[in-house]
Amino acid sequence: MNQPVLLITPPFTQLNTPYPATAYLKGFLNTKGIAAHQADLGIEVTLALFSKAGLTKLFDHIERAGEQHTPNIARMVALKEDYIHTVDEVILFLQGKRPTLAHLICKREFLPEADRFAQLPDLQWAFGSMGMQDMAKHLATMYLEDLSDLIKETVDPHFGFSRYAESLARSANSFDTLYAELQQPYTFTDHILIDLLQQKMERVQPALVALSVPFPGNLYTALRCGQWIKQNYPQVKVAMGGGFANTELRSLSDGRVFDFFDFITLDDGEAPMEQLIAFVNGQIEQHELKRTFLRIGGAVSYINNRACTDYRQGQVGTPDYSDLPLDGYISAIEVINPMHSLWNDGRWNKLTMAHGCYWGKCTFCDISLDYIKNYEPIAASLLVDRMEQMIEQTGQNGFHFVDEAAPPALMKAMALEIIRRKLVVSWWANVRFERSFTRDLCLLLKASGCIAVSGGLEVASDRLLSLINKGITMAQVARVCQHFSEAGIMVHAYLMYGFPTQTAQETIDSLEMVRQLFQTGVLQSAFWHLFTMTAHSPVGLNPEKFGVKKVTELVGSFANNDIEHIDPTGADHQSFGFGLKKALLNYMHGACFDFPLQKWFDFKVPKTSVPPDYIRRAIEEPEISSGKNSKVVWLGKQPKTEAIIKSKKGVQWSVLSLTFQTKKSSFSISVDPEQGAWLAGLLPKIAVANPAQLTRQMIEADYERAGLEDFDLFWDNKPVSTLYKAGLLQV
């Protein structure tokens, strides 16, 4: 194609780091020699709006309108000079370019404060004495949220960071409301968006514009972009894809959508995008398109050329973040939650360890869709190659792996590869709390740079975990969380309430489980959300099997995914939401563990049936040692050895002392001289740099060849069993 492709993320997804879809596609198109440019209009609109020039225009617009305002908005208008004077400094601070401004912000006299500040918790309680940067980021975020309220109430009723016009798109079975809104004059924010879009179109001169819509919150702006391009560049083709289309638009039939887009693609974007480019370039026929909606003769048609196969994960290339303003993203802290802070604070390179989910059985999940059911891992060496390429390109060595659930075996292989290459990275991932995450594996992950994991604990009830087909138990979750926590890896749990047939008793028991997990220190962060029935999940496909009834069938011509349902046998689920979240906020800050659970609710709830020491007992349960085929790896330094003569009651004997140096301290063990010499000789053979890894069984055979006896007695007991502290791991 002579003219390039323009890949756009419309406002708003997240402000701290680029949403990765366009970078993934650009990386793939690089492998095909197809020129592509990309733009994140979300961050660009934000920086244009929240600037001295942007706020000056905003306040002038508000004052020219001469409308009556609420007391909060009137106060902000009166303080307009303070907002205009401070906004550039606040943005520079949130971009990491003015770190010392934190002191001024935390004094609470620099920033103007409106209604959002009235909702602040006790900041000392929330952030502690060492959290000045985080506290300042939270205050600066509240300042931006105040301005967001101002925009919403005066010039753009749909405005919201990462949730722009979300109410128009969420569960929009009909396109009518969105279509009517798009016939209205541009809002203040629309004008900024279109000005930026016009600049991109004039500079790039694309033949195809591809808009990525991962969430309901950026559908409206995607439609606005498509509308303007159609009106001003009618020869340019416009495509839309992304998570919203993949889940919501699979039964699309409203032809009006194609007044804004020429094509809508589903699922993995690489092959459909390649076919679209070839079609726009006149190289293939229309019937050769892949997983693509378009309007033919006034009716919506779906074309899926099955002869065109999808690409393997090793063929899609390395995500390419060029063109994006990587130093312009801002770190906001909206919610006082450790994992949300990690998510929104700092620039994370996004990568995927595997396509799909290796488990793929959870009954609330869209496991019938390709992005979940088609599991394909990437080789660890290729994964780390991509990490190195992205570090070189972006200058950032933080990685967020966005898998549905990262496979433990691949995490292990990747960790070993990172350590072998002496690569310095920080990374975190989503996981299942499964038994594969042993103490030693968690220590290995930590050594490679893993700082946090998030996982679906969901309902914290063994009966419901079984109904969900989660493949885990609460006792198992407790032990896995302990392994991560003791390794120094933060653990965040996604919690669910309102799963079909969940009783009030089970809801309270789930809260008690969560309380104990926090009290024992094995869980550091969590978030509750209300169960939603989706069309492509086992619950949505077979509701009668789970004891629920659909209120309505999916009959809309536009977005069809969320299904309204009733749960005849379950509790009044929504009534528990506020109390669950209030309790959780306190538990995350180490408070109120001794409060009776009833205190969190303003209605009568049952007493918990969970024993008060359930989690503690689960953690203390003796664990079965790893099997004979597990790999043994040495991450530490070679010990210093010294022969020592010991004596007791006139009896003398020889021991070999091995002294190990770790980054924090040193410690010694004393063993039989022959066993000690064998152990010292073994460690270089199992060093992480040695690609020929030995299993426990192989090591036992080597031990016996050396003429030594009772391997299990030597290996599984003190002092050798303490060497995991120095880096002797069985994974």
Tell me the CATH architecture of domain 348-620: Alpha-Beta Horseshoe (3.80)
- The pLDDT assigned to 577 comes to 94
Question: Which ranges in the chain are annotated with CATH 3.80.30.20?
Answer: 348-620
Who has greater pLDDT, 624 or 694?
Answer: 694
Angle between helices 132-154 and 52-65 (to 10 degrees): 30
Residue 562 is predicted with a pLDDT of 78
User: Which range among 89-93, 571-575, 577-581 shows the weakest confidence by mean pLDDT?
Assistant: 571-575
Residue 181 pLDDT greater than 90, yes or no: yes
Can you give the pLDDT at residue 158? 87
What CATH number is given for 5-46+165-315 in this structure? 3.40.50.280
CA angle at residue 100 from 346 to 58, to 5 degrees?
A: 75
Residue 559 pLDDT exceeds 70: yes
Q: What per-residue confidence (pLDDT) applies to 231? A: 98
Q: Listing from the earlier edge strand, what are the strands of the sheet with 631-634?
A: 694-695, 631-634, 728-730
Cβ(560)–Cβ(373) below 8 Å: no
pLDDT band at residue 652 using 50, 70 and 90 as cut-offs: confident
Confidence (pLDDT) at 172: 64
Residue 129: band (very low, low, confident or very high) from pLDDT cuts 50, 70, 90: very low
Per-residue model confidence (pLDDT) at position 193: 98
Q: How confident is the model over 350-367, as pLDDT tens digits? A: 999 999 999 999 998 988
Check if the beta carbon of residue 474 is closer than 8 Å to that of residue 618.
yes
Closest residue by Cα to residue 627 from 517, 535, 731, 556: 731
Q: How confident is the model at residue 371 (pLDDT cuts 50, 70, 90)?
A: confident
The lowest-confidence range among 108-112, 170-174, 214-218 is 170-174
Neighbours of 578 (CB within 10 A): 12
Residues of the chain with CATH 3.40.50.280: 5-46+165-315
Tokens of 513: 């489980």
At 38-48, the pLDDT tens digits run 999 999 999 99
For 465, other C-beta atoms within 10 Å of its C-beta total 22
Sheet with strand 640-648: strands edge to edge = 640-648, 651-661, 666-671
pLDDT of residue 498: 92
Q: What are the tens digits of pLDDT across the range 219-263?
A: 999 999 999 999 999 999 999 999 999 988 999 999 999 999 999
The pLDDT score that the predictor gives to residue 386 is 96
What is the pLDDT of the chain when averaged over all its residues? 92
What is the pLDDT, as a whole number, of residue 130?
A: 43
pLDDT of residue 707: 95
Q: Chain-centre distance of CA 237, in angstroms? A: 32
User: pLDDT at residue 488 above 70?
Assistant: yes
- Counting residues of the chain whose pLDDT is more than 70, the rounded percentage is 95
pLDDT tens column, 598-631: 999 999 999 999 999 999 999 998 877 777 889 9
pLDDT score for 389: 96
Compute the average pLDDT of residues 271-286. 96
Question: 398 or 130: which carries more pLDDT confidence?
Answer: 398
The amino acid sitting at 134 is D
What's the rounded Cα separation, in Å, for the pair 422 and 416? 10
